[in-house]
Amino acid sequence: MSNIYYFLQLIWYQLTFKARPLPDDIRLEGQTAIVTGANVGLGFEAAKELASHELSRLILGVRDLAKGEAAKAEIVRVAPKCDIQVWQLDQESWASMVAFAERARTDLDRLDIILLNAGLKRLEYTRSPTSHEVHVQTNYLGTALLSLLLSEPLRQTAQKLGKPGRMTITTSSVGFIAPVRDITNPQEGNSIINWLDNPTSFVPGDSRYYLSKLLDMLWTRALASRLSASDIIVNTPNPGYCQSSFHRVDPNGDMFSKYLAFTTVEGGRHLTDAAVRHPDSHGAYLSEQRLRPFPNFIYSVEGVEVQQKLWDETITLFRQECPEANIEEFTRGE
């Protein structure tokens, strides 16, 4: 898709589409949901909307506990009966993610909904404490690891209740204009992740953020092919371009948001819609609150090869850098 065509589509979408809230008759009594990146922006609004539909327990996964507690206080006002808990989660720390997942496994008697929404945007090369480029670490690797670690408690609840759990991974339509050359022709020993970690691969601006969203799409499809839809429905929605502190690092994007952006409430509705509705969305991309095709690249022979290579590299990386993570069920026979 050319950039011009993409931006014309984006403008049309932003001007003509109005996200719908969850229908009033959707009730989540008895259910437990985890929302990451839940203290601000779309994650906060999505968490608040889930809680307002009689959700019984809500886990806010946040890096800053004080900000998480402030978010909890706001959500309590609309859902006073919901058991809201604030858990620390840092997607730039392997240990933090493993501890978070272990807490979910041991402390929760059930887990029904997971919304993996935490992410960031930077315009200059930044290295994470894990030594990976920060978009690769937070937006992709952290999300991927959590999706593996949290699958088991989600599946256990699904099998106990006889209905699938839900896992939603936030992506963005910017994945349609991501620079695929960086993943189809990596120059660092033919490893996609090693090349993206190399500062010489980074072009200042927002293209690396775009690419991280394409990686999330590829991961969602790879993960879905390894999960049974009868146990876990995993999908990936585009919330559109939204007014949010997320864009504070990008003056141009922030200015654009003043004229065309959805509110954070509207953006959050895209996420809750994907997390609760669309039982036919396993392995699918959603935009405008309905199933849409992925970028053409993903369906190409080259895209299929990249998806498998990315999966293999990611699993190998987790085994080497986070051996305490129990991901063996996803690696048998590989």
Residue linked to tokens 């608040």: 48
Report pLDDT for 3. 80
CA 100 and chain centroid, separation: 16
Q: Across residues 153-162, what is the average pLDDT? A: 97
Q: Across residues 27-53, what is the average pLDDT? A: 97
**Which tens digits make up the pLDDT trace of 170-191?**
999 999 999 999 999 888 677 9
- Phi-psi group of 205: left, alpha or beta (phi > 0 → left; psi -120 to 50 → alpha; rest → beta): left
- Phi-psi group of 228: left, alpha or beta (phi > 0 → left; psi -120 to 50 → alpha; rest → beta): beta
Q: Is the pLDDT of residue 331 over 70?
A: no
**Burial level of 24, CB count in 10 A (0-12/13-18/19+)?**
exposed
Tell me the C-alpha distance between 303 and 313, whole Å. 15
H/E element holding 275? helix 264-276
- CATH numeric code, 3-16+27-322: 3.40.50.720
Tell me the helix, strand and coil percentages in the chain, rounded to 5.
Answer: 50, 15, 35
213 given a catalytic annotation: yes
Q: Is the pLDDT of residue 28 over 60?
A: yes
- What global pTM score does this model have? 0.94
Q: Which one of 48, 72, 213, 309 is the catalytic residue?
A: 213
Q: What percent of the chain has pLDDT over 70?
A: 94
Q: Which one of 147, 172, 201, 257 is the catalytic residue?
A: 172
Q: Is the pLDDT of residue 258 over 80?
A: no
Report the range of poorest mean pLDDT among 89-103, 110-124, 239-253, 306-320. 239-253
Per-residue pLDDT band for 192 (boundaries 50, 70, 90) equals: very high
Q: Which one of 140, 209, 210, 285 is the catalytic residue?
A: 209
Q: Are 276 and 227 in contact (CB under 8 A)?
A: no
Q: Is the pLDDT of residue 333 over 50?
A: no
209 given a catalytic annotation: yes
